[in-house]
Amino acid sequence: MNTLANALNTAIGRRDKLLKVTNALRLVNGTGDGLDGLLIDRYHKHFQIQVLKGHWHQQMDEICKSLASSLPVEYLIVKTRQGLEIRQEILAGTDPETIVSEYGIKFKVNLNDGLNCGLFLDMRHNRRMVGEFAKARKVLNCFSYTCAFGVHARAQGACEVINTDISRKVLERGKINYQLNDMTPSPGEFVKVDSVSYLQRALKKNNKFDVIILDPPSFARYDEGVFQVKRDMPELIDLSVRVLNGGGALWVSTNYSETSYTDLEKMLADHLNGRRVAQIQRVRQDEDFTLSNSFKESYLVGLWVKFL
């Protein structure tokens, strides 16, 4: 067996234990698996290859052959970043949509939908942790995307969940995820709004929550302007702390590689508004993201903050 096939098989085998809890995982994490510039994600029988360095295109036939020899490949797509554009090439299959499962919870993904196909694989254990804490609690899921945190919270028995996002499209996909898990949403459970504005209104109305989830994009445009993590995260934290109930918890994270744990901790310390903290836990990507935070394409810093 050649060196590339060996490296791929080693990376895939390293993640076998995760198959006990999910069929959606990262199989190859670039530098973390000794394959710099190559990312491979599995979504059940659908597979996505991201090429960050062009030389991998010359070995694509070999990569595909190695995957097909050991895995049930029904759909395979290769994505190449070209500046702000993503070039996609479908190498196998016709239907980009499939249903995946993590911890028994179902999610629908579409591999043709840009780089982010509906489920952030690196947040798997974080969704589980926040969901377990959410039992019998009121949850605000800001920047909800397809509502995966909200689905986990509901599955673990949260008494109320509100998912906010500026995109109607992703909220509709969130509703599909609820349906897949036989969840009937309450009125107002999906709110198309920028999350900063929602928090501001919640503060004015004294509408408080037991759990608040902040996992914003690094950069996003919306009707009122532009959101930037580096500039706007402090206000997000400030507003969230103000609308948290006593004994509540704040999840805050970012994949913006210029923000460190120390940066997040300072933002929190500067905006406690007199609140006392019981525990601060640093959180990161799940274990299939090997050597997380050592290179830009695999980066996540987060804090799980419990208040008195």
Has residue 136 got a pLDDT over 60?
Answer: yes
Q: Which of 60, 178, 48 is nearest to 117 (CA)?
A: 48
Has residue 231 got a pLDDT over 90?
Answer: no
* Residues found in the chain: 308
Neighbours of 98 (CB within 10 A): 21
Integer-rounded Cα Rg, in Å, for the chain is 20
How does the average pLDDT of the chain come out, rounded?
95
Given a contact cutoff of 8 angstroms between Cβ atoms, the answer to whether 301 and 308 are in contact is: no
Domains of the chain plus CATH, in order, are: 3-109 (3.30.750.80), 121-307 (3.40.50.150)
Distances from the Cα of 85 to the Cα of 80, 89, 151, 263, angstroms: 8, 13, 31, 30
Q: What percent of the chain has pLDDT over 70?
A: 98
* Model confidence band, residue 220 (pLDDT cutoffs 50, 70, 90): low
Strands 105-110 and 75-82, bridge-based pairing: unpaired
Poorest-pLDDT segment among 189-203, 217-231, 271-285: 217-231
pLDDT in tens, 174-213: 999 999 999 999 999 999 999 999 999 999 999 999 999 9
What is the pLDDT, as a whole number, of residue 298? 95
* Model confidence band, residue 224 (pLDDT cutoffs 50, 70, 90): low
* Model confidence band, residue 223 (pLDDT cutoffs 50, 70, 90): low
pLDDT in tens, 73-89: 999 999 998 777 889 99
Q: Which of 83, 82, 35 is nearest to 59 (CA)?
A: 35
Strands 138-142 and 209-214, bridge-based pairing: parallel
Has residue 1 got a pLDDT over 80?
Answer: no
pLDDT in tens, 39-67: 999 999 999 999 999 999 999 999 999 99
Given a contact cutoff of 8 angstroms between Cβ atoms, the answer to whether 279 and 306 are in contact is: yes
What is the pLDDT, as a whole number, of residue 70? 92
DSSP conformation class of 304: E
Has residue 222 got a pLDDT over 70?
Answer: no
Mean pLDDT, rounded, for 163-171: 96
126 vs 86, more confident: 126
69 exposure class (CB count in 10 Å sphere: 0-12, 13-18, 19+): exposed
Neighbours of 96 (CB within 10 A): 18
Q: DSSP letter string over 69-137?
A: HHS--SEEEEEEEETTEEEEEEEE-S--EEEEEETTEEEEEETTSSS--S--GGGHHHHHHHHHHTTTS
